[in-house]
Structure 1
Amino acid sequence: MGLPKKTSRNIIVDDIEYSWLASGNDDIINLIITLKENSGQKLFAHFDYMTATEDGNIWMEITPEVVRKVIEYGILKGWKGDERGKNVDIGIMNDKVL
C-alpha cells in the first residue's frame, strides 16, 4: 500500500519514482518511503532534529537530497521496494546523510 497522495511528495532516483512522507513529533522526525507504483516494502528512517557537526549544531531538514541518500542507503542495506515482505527500518540517519 502506498502513501497518501495529498500529503506525500515524489522523487525520482535512478529512473525509479518513489513517494515519501516526513512527519515530526516532539522527539524525532520520521521518514517513510515507498515506490510510487506497485509498492511492496516500506523504508523507514529517523532523524534527530539537531545534529552536531564540526562547525556546530545544525537543524535537520528533510530535503529531496536527504531522501535520495536515504533511498540509496536503504537499497545498500537490502530494501527492495518492489517486493512484498517485512518493512525495512534503517534507524537514525543524521550521521549518514550529512
Structure 2
Amino acid sequence: MALPKKTSKIITVNNIKYSWMASGNDDIIYLIICLKESPGQKLLASFNYVNIFENDIVEVQIIPSIVKQVIEYAINKGWNPYKKGKEFNIGTMNDLINYTT
C-alpha cells in the first residue's frame, strides 16, 4: 500500500525512488518508507525527539540525509522493499545515525 501523496515525500537512493513520511507524538518520531512505485514491504523506524550526540543534545529532525541512512541500514539488515508482506521494523535509530551529514 502506497503512502498518501499529499503528506509523503520522495527520495532517490541508488537510483530507486522511495516515498517517506514522518510523524510524531510527545516522545517519538515515526518514519515510514516504501517504494514510490509498486510499494511492497514498508520500512518502519523510530527516533527519540532528543538525542545526545558527541556530548551535545541534538533535537532530531527527519531530513533526507537521515532517511537515506535508514534505507541503507535497513537494506543491509535484510529489508526487501519489493517483497510483499508484514512491515520491516528496525526499531529506534538514534544511536545508528550520523547527524552531521
TM-score surpassing 0.5?
yes
Give SS of 1:83's match: coil
Q: Which residue of 2 aligns with 1:17?
A: 17
In structure 2, C-alpha distance between the alignment counterparts of 1:41 and 1:62, rounded to whole Å: 21
1:7 aligns with 2:7: yes
- The TM-score with structure 1 as length reference comes to 0.97
Find out whether 1:78 has 2:83 as its counterpart. Answer: no
Runs of 4+ in 1 over 6 A off after TM superposition: none
Please provide the CA RMSD for this pair. Answer: 0.7
Aligned residues: 98
- Other-structure match for 1:52: 52
Task: Name structure 2 gaps, 5 residues minimum.
Answer: none
CA shift at 1:43, angstroms? 0.1
Distance 2:42 2:53 in 1: 29
**Amino acid in the other structure paired with 1:20:** W
Aligned to 2:29: 29
Task: Report SS of the residue matched to 1:71.
Answer: helix
TM-score (norm 2): 0.94
CA distance in structure 2 between the partners assigned to 1:27 and 1:10 by the alignment:
25
Using the TM superposition, give the Cα deviation of residue 53 of structure 1 relative to its aligned residue in structure 2, in angstroms: 1.7
Paired-residue identity, % = 54
